Amino acid sequence: MAITASGVQSNRPGQKRIQTHLRAAGLTALLSLGLWASVLGMASRPEQLLWAALGSLPALWICLPLTGKQKSVIGLALGAILLIAALLIPYARLGLSALLNALFSQSETQQRYLYEMFPGADAATAGSVHLGILLFGCGLSVLLSLLAEKAHFLAGCIPIALLLLAAAYFGVTPPAIWMLCTAAVSALLLIPHPSFRQDITILLLFALAGGLGLWLAPGENARISNLDESLRDRLALSTVSETQPDEPSETPEDTPEPQELENQNAPLLVKRDRTLDIKIVMLIVVIVLALLFLFVPAIARDRLQKRNDRLRAGMDSEDNRIAACAAFHYAVSWLKAVGVDFENLPYVSATDRVQATVSEDRAEAFRSMIALWQEAQFSDHTISDETRTALTQFQEETAREIWVSKNRREQFRLRWKHALWV
């Protein structure tokens, strides 16, 4: 609990914790939805996306006002029950089997793989698929939200890694838009100390990378396709002639040799390669600049916040003595930052310098606070709430008066050189 200038207690740590829970729950729900959308896209079942979205909503349970141990027990139990129910209830299991058979079919179609299908899945109805997705999705989102609460790094890495492994194993690529969204949400979960600006920057970075990726994706070239088909036909004919020497193969006289076709298309290939190289260089430059824009300010702000935390150390202490002394020392830091020299000089003798540098009112307030600080620093009796409130209010008024009186250039110097701001 922090005490403001008016002496009213504010619950800033509690508010920040609630915001962190809400962010983790929202990102987990989006991550679960992205995973389901990618899998449904791989299985060519996009019509089931609504039920996947409903199955992602239980991730919001992490916002309930429970202790850490209660969340762990309830989350593991609830997630396990939902997943086991999806696998043991015959109606739901039949729907999941049908979904997996659809994924196997897509893999067989695109990669010529052969799978042993789940028996009886052809009899699955739309309701069974809906129930299977809903139960399994609810269990998955509950466990993901718990993982994001306890280990956000693992919550950001494991799901996207499993999705990439599934795509590589089945040889089926998820829809690009859902893959990009899932990767963006995973990146947001990796941020240790998130802020709104960092979230927006990462989303813009992924949007830019996705747009450039689609722009770089090479389209089909008719001349190259014809060359490829001609080479394949020539290879097939030569293979047949070698295996069946008695049957001469007839080749049209006007069919150009493969070497001639390669020579005709060489300028086009060279030009296309150069264009692709330029695009790749541009993509690398943009990504490097975006990473610098994202991480360099974040690192600088983090170091600045740590310096400010050291200056404010003890102000939020429950001990009135520690908090009162810390508030007075923080106010002195502001006075030093604007040029008041306290070196080899007692605070009582520095009031003239405070008056010359800041204002007469601030010098009078400083003179009256010295006695309270000496009481908090050197006395043996208990420090009252009124003393703490008075010194805290003096610190806040000093900081506000100095900050408002400075122009933007001086405020920039106070922030980045002395780690002081209002």
Q: Percent of the chain having pLDDT more than 90?
A: 24
- Helical H runs in 244-257? none
Residues in the chain: 422
Position 218 scores a pLDDT of 52
Is residue 322's pLDDT more than 90?
yes
Confidence bin at 79 (pLDDT 50/70/90): confident
Is residue 332's pLDDT more than 60?
yes
Position 10 scores a pLDDT of 43
Report the candidate in 266, 267, 264, 238 with the shortest Cα–Cα distance to residue 251.
238
Cβ–Cβ contacts within 10 Å for residue 112, how many? 8
**Average pLDDT of the segment spanning 168-184:** 84
Q: Please give the residue that has the higher pLDDT: either 24 or 217.
A: 24
Q: In a 10 Å sphere around its CB, with 0-12 CB exposed, 13-18 middle and 19+ buried, how is residue 16 labelled?
A: exposed
Position 296 scores a pLDDT of 72
Lowest-confidence pick of 20-24, 131-135, 401-405: 20-24
**Average pLDDT of the segment spanning 94-120:** 84
**C-alpha angle 3/5/7, rounded to 5°?**
55
When the pLDDT of each residue in the chain is averaged and rounded to a whole number, the result is: 79
143 contact partners, CB below 8 Å, separation of at least 6: 75, 76, 79, 83
Confidence bin at 154 (pLDDT 50/70/90): confident
Is residue 272's pLDDT more than 50?
no
Query: Phi, psi (5° rounding) for residue 120?
Result: 80, -5
Is residue 53's pLDDT more than 80?
yes
Helix (H) or strand (E) holding 9: strand 9-10
- Is the Cβ–Cβ distance between 83 and 116 less than 8 Å? no
Residue identified by tokens 């190259």 is: 224
Position 14 scores a pLDDT of 58
Q: Please give the residue that has the higher pLDDT: either 64 or 303.
A: 303
150 contact partners, CB below 8 Å, separation of at least 6: 72
Position 241 scores a pLDDT of 54
- Is the Cβ–Cβ distance between 137 and 52 less than 8 Å? yes
Strand partners, 10: 2
Query: Phi, psi (5° rounding) for residue 221?
Result: -105, 125
Is residue 415's pLDDT more than 70?
yes
Q: Please give the residue that has the higher pLDDT: either 40 or 232.
A: 40
104 contact partners, CB below 8 Å, separation of at least 6: 113, 115, 117, 170
Position 7 scores a pLDDT of 41
Position 270 scores a pLDDT of 46
What is the Cβ-side half-sphere exposure of residue 36, based on CA atoms within 13 angstroms?
Answer: 30
Position 84 scores a pLDDT of 92
Position 5 scores a pLDDT of 39
Helix (H) or strand (E) holding 2: strand 2-3
Identify the DSSP state of 60: G
Report the candidate in 311, 332, 309, 337 with the shortest Cα–Cα distance to residue 391.
332
Is residue 57's pLDDT more than 70?
yes
Position 391 scores a pLDDT of 93
**Average pLDDT of the segment spanning 374-387:** 91
Confidence bin at 167 (pLDDT 50/70/90): confident
What b/e sequence results for 378-394 when a residue is b if at least 16 CB atoms lie within 10 Å of its CB, and e otherwise?
A: eeeeebeeebbbbbbbb
Is residue 9's pLDDT more than 60?
no
Confidence bin at 226 (pLDDT 50/70/90): low
Position 49 scores a pLDDT of 87
Q: Percent of the chain having pLDDT more than 70?
A: 74
**Which amino acid would we find at residue 10?**
S
Helix (H) or strand (E) holding 286: helix 258-311
Position 13 scores a pLDDT of 52
Cβ–Cβ contacts within 10 Å for residue 262, how many? 13
Q: Please give the residue that has the higher pLDDT: either 40 or 16.
A: 40
**Average pLDDT of the segment spanning 303-323:** 91
Lowest-confidence pick of 93-97, 152-156, 375-379: 152-156
Question: How far is 210 from 330, CA to CA, in rounded Å?
Answer: 47
| DSSP helix/strand/coil, 264 | helix
Confidence bin at 189 (pLDDT 50/70/90): confident
Lowest-confidence pick of 99-103, 145-149, 275-279: 275-279
Position 170 scores a pLDDT of 82
